[in-house]
Amino acid sequence: RMPRSSHRRVGLVADEAGFWHESRADFGPSVEPGVQLETPEARRRLLHLIERLGLRRRMTPLEPLALAEADLARVHTADYLAAFRAQSAGTGGELGDFAGFGHGSYEVAVRSAGGVAAAVRAVLDGELDRAYALVRPPGHHAEPDRARGYCLLANIPIALELARARQGLGRVAIVDWDVHHGNGAQRIYWDDPDVLAISLHQDRLYPVESGAVEERGGDAALGATLNIPLPAGSGEGAYLAAFDRVVAPALRAFQPELLVVACGYDAAFLDPSSQMALTSATFGDLTRRMIELAEALCGGRLVIAQEGGYSPLYTPICGAAVVAALLEAEAETELHDPYGRHLHTPEQNLLPHQLEAIERAGAAAGTAPPTHH
Amino acid sequence: RMPRSSHRRVGLVADEAGFWHESRADFGPSVEPGVQLETPEARRRLLHLIERLGLRRRMTPLEPLALAEADLARVHTADYLAAFRAQSAGTGGELGDFAGFGHGSYEVAVRSAGGVAAAVRAVLDGELDRAYALVRPPGHHAEPDRARGYCLLANIPIALELARARQGLGRVAIVDWDVHHGNGAQRIYWDDPDVLAISLHQDRLYPVESGAVEERGGDAALGATLNIPLPAGSGEGAYLAAFDRVVAPALRAFQPELLVVACGYDAAFLDPSSQMALTSATFGDLTRRMIELAEALCGGRLVIAQEGGYSPLYTPICGAAVVAALLEAEAETELHDPYGRHLHTPEQNLLPHQLEAIERAGAAAGTAPPTHH
Amino acid sequence: RMPRSSHRRVGLVADEAGFWHESRADFGPSVEPGVQLETPEARRRLLHLIERLGLRRRMTPLEPLALAEADLARVHTADYLAAFRAQSAGTGGELGDFAGFGHGSYEVAVRSAGGVAAAVRAVLDGELDRAYALVRPPGHHAEPDRARGYCLLANIPIALELARARQGLGRVAIVDWDVHHGNGAQRIYWDDPDVLAISLHQDRLYPVESGAVEERGGDAALGATLNIPLPAGSGEGAYLAAFDRVVAPALRAFQPELLVVACGYDAAFLDPSSQMALTSATFGDLTRRMIELAEALCGGRLVIAQEGGYSPLYTPICGAAVVAALLEAEAETELHDPYGRHLHTPEQNLLPHQLEAIERAGAAAGTAPPTHH
Amino acid sequence: RMPRSSHRRVGLVADEAGFWHESRADFGPSVEPGVQLETPEARRRLLHLIERLGLRRRMTPLEPLALAEADLARVHTADYLAAFRAQSAGTGGELGDFAGFGHGSYEVAVRSAGGVAAAVRAVLDGELDRAYALVRPPGHHAEPDRARGYCLLANIPIALELARARQGLGRVAIVDWDVHHGNGAQRIYWDDPDVLAISLHQDRLYPVESGAVEERGGDAALGATLNIPLPAGSGEGAYLAAFDRVVAPALRAFQPELLVVACGYDAAFLDPSSQMALTSATFGDLTRRMIELAEALCGGRLVIAQEGGYSPLYTPICGAAVVAALLEAEAETELHDPYGRHLHTPEQNLLPHQLEAIERAGAAAGTAPPTHH
Ligand SMILES: [Zn+2]
Ligand SMILES: [Zn+2]
Ligand SMILES: [Zn+2]
Ligand SMILES: [Zn+2]
């Protein structure tokens, strides 16, 4: 455990515009209108909670960078950007599955990417040690030429490409612990050996067709894509084992200059979109592990960019645990998790079939030898 | 598959009062007010959907029976009933964990139990073939002397005890597929060899301390309690296997005069309260299996009493599948399930560790020999 | 007061599809998304309340008539219907001010008009004495060639034109007590001497440009349009005086064969969209006056078609008062109005400037001589 | 119009805790649960809007003062405080009409009063020129010995009494333009000639029994209470006339050292709780008038404390107009009011019966001679 410091400068992006974005997913004609999975509520309430706990005032507010279309075009196709801009100027539209948007969403999505870019820039500049980008819409499903799963622009890749162009950023690693597969970064960086894209996710949840251990990157970048699909029902045991046995060794081997987390909270116990069982304690643990790795590998440079998380009740508690960890303020933070006591239920242990899945991923990554049963 | 009949008379209890009940669960000081897990919304929307699909008009409306306190006292202690009545006459209260209630909830809870009683009576009388009690509050966690988990009165036991007293009901079987353990019936019927209480549930989810395979009933009723705890992450494969290998044989062996389902929808894919992955198709399948068993064993007498289910988006679709099955109207019902395609994701298959859990339950029940690996 | 009868047959249209319609009004870029004025909630809760009060079971359910496009074309232009149908088949649209709609709204709007048509037909046929059409979307602002103010099709005119074509309906009077001007019927029947279109409304509230006392109908139908604009702040005193001094004499003079009320609840005390102060008592009083007039003038034939009403808290109470009056069940109905005590606040009295406005309307209508001050 | 200055330092209190307070009003058994008039939503959305418009970053954040019980006891009785504290430590309670509260509301109410106290202190100290206290719960109905109308503690009097005790504050004037009567300050300062308590309100709206022009203060303080009850339906014309003819002369005659506004937004056009018709433009006008008077009379010292306002759609726009005026930033603020165009509807003019009411108030106040008609 690293030495305590009360001098960590932690940035926070929390752009109001993001909460005014209207997302829509079409669940078909048997779902009565009036209920959506993705709303601003979970993120708003996370912000409320860190305010209430006194954490927000200890963070440095960051404004989104104002991105030019050229900044987006490093990642997205011109056709996609033009179509998105045009539909957004009208009454909204949909340019991919589960990814409807309203009037003005283009500008908001650009601010969201700009929020991650601001966090990356401040940390690379050394202005701040770490930063949390509480942005909306999320980005990790967005592909160069289409929107998917509430994601309209690829926030993290846009931010990283800007940093490569402007700040000379070299090797960077993305750890995506959103419960859904990080298909965006995988596709965008498929052939790029300088970006390690790791995704921990529920096996074949969404997108169903991607995220297998066999997907390891293009020939020029073999191993720079690393998928760890976990079985439905996984909890603390599986996540920490996957991190310690596969993620951490891969990061150490890669030697990045910056660590970025695609931080979804949808693997949490109460999240409706998945079958995972994490509590806020595990999100805190994962964050502390990332901090330690950043300290060890890249001068502590760590950016957390928020992705999914659909429980207005529980996402805030998980997010507050991450923020408290970034501030190294866990001890003095009065965070009450109603699910703390479930830590010792069966799904919090590492089960044999979960270990097998982790070992398969580790073997593919070359980080861990398969064990024999 | 049984022959089609268009002459099934299916009853529906949908008492408006139930939707006016205010439930409250205390998730502690880190949860901002304004969000609750249990609200009338999921049940209201289920009712809306079966109305919209044209199913409701094919059902016979049933009014709750007016229960006397003596009817409740067959199951609950006098002290508990007095305390509940008193707090309900004031501003509400809480008489167990996760089970707060408001002013007037006593009368509503009595109507909820009366709704299940009406369904049981009509089916036993032969007025109707089957009945669905869309009641609120639920009942399967309520114990003789305390409320638990949103349940205030033990709806099903109260209904069954009334039927035993008035209609000479003999042996009856309860199948509880709510994702949480059916602790109420287990405790109430622990020593009663004439009530087979089967519970399929996520292992140690809630209540954490009960529902193990070893809990098999008191000495006088050994085997009349049957628990099938399933691992987090279970889907269609596990549920159908558990049903076919353990539940169905147990029911056949028991030879009940009536089948009752404690029908929660919280093992569904989108439900926030669990880690299970059922789709509406599986709820339809389970219902059809119950119908077949009822036809084979007890003249078709089948009552479905609604318990949990916390997804305003998905509970209605699962419930509509159950209702369509009761009406044998699946073919002509235009029910669109956005999660149908997930049927072939990994969690829909029967996995070895799930099979093991099922076999342990079967062995305890004496319905299936353990297999060796 | 007419003699009590327990044999009134009162119909109820309450089509589920209407509650699935998505309306949208654009309040501009300074209004954060997530709040709308017009939602299904106020109507749903009205339905819940009459169910809870035991009123609904005393009514005869009516299904909407299945209308053909020709039935709509008696009132609307072919161009408007084609545009509406096309946008509704896509992702929705907006064909007038404050009148956005979603996918599938065309079919729902046709059912809404069909609901009013069913009520009119049943009453004209003598199947029922009176009927209440709890429809959505509303209709009284819809004009032949455009949607306005949440109204997509002119429900009442469509129903009346069908009855004229099929049932030989002759003279009919519409009393519109929605707080906004009944511009639709006025425009549609401007030159038709056989339809008396009376509108009581808050002066120049919406549409701002219509509803003045000087608007009295075309040359061929002078006097068949009758506007009674009331000053902001009017309550019971002004409404009952306007009814007794202007509306009732006009109806008596006109001798209709059917009375139809365009029944908005947005002149109510708690309604956000207006500055009027009616309580449920006044809605009951107005309904009883309409019943008496219907008995006196046209064999009791009375249809109430719901229009606006935007208070989820108070619209239901006002609507229940109307339904109780239709059923002549006020005495045995336990309706608790939190605003009953406000009946004696200043705005419940008839004030001089209100009386002046009423007299101006009466003078224009020829029903009351102006008084001199 | 005063000269523009870009150097105004304007404070903002926006304490997160206030939004976590649960208020409850009992509207009786005919109101289905799930809808409340007073929720955090209108205030939250006001905060969101001023953030979105770029106004918030131009304000100086203020933390609530930590008040001791002795600070409350200058205004409230010991019995009331003890009862409130005790019920708040349990599951909440109700200590007056329409004033229910939940667990922990005592601490939140103390912070709310402390928020107004912080604003008063900063302005009196000269740290800031003006301040806006966006607090919750409101305070202007709270009386020494009871809660009323969502108000639990008398925020403004508590703040003023603290300033008198600590900062030697002398004469102070309160202008209460919440649409309901400012009964709290009236009762608390009835005999105090050094506090001028002016209330503009809808005549006999709430509390029904107080707020008449004849209520002018106790013998020792005759004229220091000044009520201007306006007729239902009043708009810009009436409010500006009342301000210019009665409020402004009274303030000039009184020569206060500090101006405080009890700033409700419930006289606004879309507010459900009243029959008034103000638009955001009028709230801006009233604020500018208060600024001018403060500049002229008391060195510009002006505190705005938020009271009622129940339209989640429109309260934010009215509040943003007030904040923009405080910042003298109207010209560069892109505030779009959907009701701007209603400024020329009839209720925006000064009508004769409104003028009469204003003149009666002016005559009672001695600020304006009655005119004869
Ligand atoms: Zn996700
Ligand atoms: Zn359950
Ligand atoms: Zn209206
Ligand atoms: Zn107020």
What confidence tens digit (pLDDT) does each residue in D204-237 have? 999 999 999 999 999 999 999 999 999 999 999 9
Q: Per-residue pLDDT tens for A79-100? A: 999 999 999 999 899 999 999 9
> For residues C347 and D119, which has the higher predicted lDDT (pLDDT)?
D119
Residue-level pLDDT at D342: 54
Query: Distance between CA C102 and CA D177 in Å, rounded?
Result: 40
Distance from Cα B138 to the centre of ligand 2, integer Å: 9
How many beta-carbon pairs below 8 A join chains A and D? 14
What residues of chain C have any CB closer than 8 angstroms to a CB in chain B?
A: 16-17, 19-20, 48, 51-52
Residues of chain B with pLDDT under 50: 1-5, 369-373
Q: Do the chains contact at C20 and A33, CB–CB below 8 Å? A: yes
Please say whether the beta carbons of C37 and C127 come within 8 A.
no
Distance from CA of C244 to the nearest CA of D (A): 22
Query: Which residues lie near ion ligand 2 (Cβ < 5 Å)?
Result: B 178, 180, 264, 266, 308
| Owning domain of residue B230 | 10-365
Distance from Cα A20 to the centre of ligand 1, integer Å: 20
Average pLDDT over residues C283-292: 98
On the question of pLDDT at A370 being above 60, the answer is no
Q: Is residue B269 part of a domain?
A: yes
Structure confidence at residue A344 as a pLDDT band (50, 70, 90): low
Token digits for C157?
Answer: 């005119």
Q: Is residue B3 part of a domain?
A: no
Q: Is residue B4 part of a domain?
A: no
What is the biggest distance separating any 2 CA atoms in chain C, rounded to whole angstroms?
A: 59
Distance from Cα D248 to the centre of ligand 4, integer Å: 22
Token digits for B114?
Answer: 């009366």
On the question of pLDDT at D7 being above 80, the answer is no
Residue-level pLDDT at B342: 54
Number of domains comprising chain C: 1
Average pLDDT over residues C316-341: 94
Query: Distance between CA D216 and CA D227 in Å, rounded?
Result: 7
Average pLDDT over residues A249-278: 97
Q: Is residue A94 part of a domain?
A: yes
Q: Do the chains contact at A17 and D48, CB–CB below 8 Å? A: no
Average pLDDT over residues C71-80: 98
3-state SS class at D342: helix
What is the Rg, in whole angstroms, of the alpha carbon atoms belonging to chain A?
19
Distance from CA of B39 to the nearest CA of A (A): 13
Q: Do the chains contact at D31 and C338, CB–CB below 8 Å? A: yes
Is the four-CA dihedral B292, B296, B299, B302 of positive or negative sign?
A: negative
Give chain C positions within 8 Å (CB) of B19. Answer: 48
Residue-level pLDDT at D197: 98
How many beta-carbon pairs below 8 A join chains B and D? 23
Residue-level pLDDT at D333: 97
Closest CB from A16, A20, A51 relative to D16: A51
The catalytic residue among C21, C76, C140, C141 is C141
Average pLDDT over residues C215-243: 97
Residue of A nearest to D18 (CA): A52
How much is the mean pLDDT over chain A?
94
Cβ neighbours around B370 below 10 Å, total: 11
> For residues A302 and D368, which has the higher predicted lDDT (pLDDT)?
A302
Residue-level pLDDT at B339: 85
Q: Do the chains contact at B22 and D33, CB–CB below 8 Å? A: yes
Give chain A positions within 8 Å (CB) of D17. Answer: 52
Cβ neighbours around C332 below 10 Å, total: 11
Residue-level pLDDT at D371: 45
Share of chain D above pLDDT 70, in %: 95
Judge whether C141 counts as a catalytic residue. yes
Q: Do the chains contact at B233 and A271, CB–CB below 8 Å? A: no
Average pLDDT over residues A19-31: 95
On the question of pLDDT at A373 being above 80, the answer is no
Is the four-CA dihedral D38, D40, D46, D49 of positive or negative sign?
A: negative
Chain D neighbours, 3+ Cβ pairs < 8 A: A, B, C
Query: Distance between CA C340 and CA A27 in Å, rounded?
Result: 44
Residue-level pLDDT at B6: 53
Q: Is residue B2 part of a domain?
A: no
Residue-level pLDDT at B369: 47
Taking each helix axis from N to C end, the angle separating C41-52 and C315-326, rounded to the nearest 10 degrees, works out to 50
Token digits for A129?
Answer: 């040690």
Please say whether the beta carbons of B169 and B298 come within 8 A.
no
In one-letter notation, the amino acid at residue A147 is: A
Based on the number of CB atoms within 10 Å of its own CB, is C1 exposed (0-12), middle (13-18) or buried (19 or more)?
exposed
Query: Distance between CA C360 and CA C346 in Å, rounded?
Result: 22
- Kindly report the CATH number assigned to the domain that includes residue B242: 3.40.800.20
In one-letter notation, the amino acid at residue A227 is: N
Candidates B36, B271, B313, B333: best to mutate against A (most CBs of A within 10 A) is B313
3-state SS class at B272: coil
Q: Do the chains contact at B275 and A232, CB–CB below 8 Å? A: yes
Chain C neighbours, 3+ Cβ pairs < 8 A: A, B, D
Distance from Cα A141 to the centre of ligand 1, integer Å: 8
Share of chain C above pLDDT 90, in %: 92
| Nearest CA among A204, A156, A198 for reference residue A180 | A204
Report residue A358: phi and psi, to 5°: -65, -40
First to last CA, chain D: 33
Residue of D nearest to B104 (CA): D29
Please report the ipTM that was assigned to this predicted complex.
0.96
Please say whether the beta carbons of D203 and D230 come within 8 A.
yes
Structure confidence at residue A265 as a pLDDT band (50, 70, 90): very high
Residue-level pLDDT at B340: 76
The catalytic residue among A140, A141, A180, A201 is A141
Q: Per-residue pLDDT tens for D326-338? A: 999 999 999 999 9
Q: Is residue D370 part of a domain?
A: no
Q: Is residue A173 part of a domain?
A: yes
Q: Is residue D371 part of a domain?
A: no
Please say whether the beta carbons of B232 and A275 come within 8 A.
yes
Give chain A positions within 8 Å (CB) of B272. Answer: 270-272, 311, 313-314
The catalytic residue among B140, B141, B180, B181 is B141
Nearest ligand, CA D207: 4
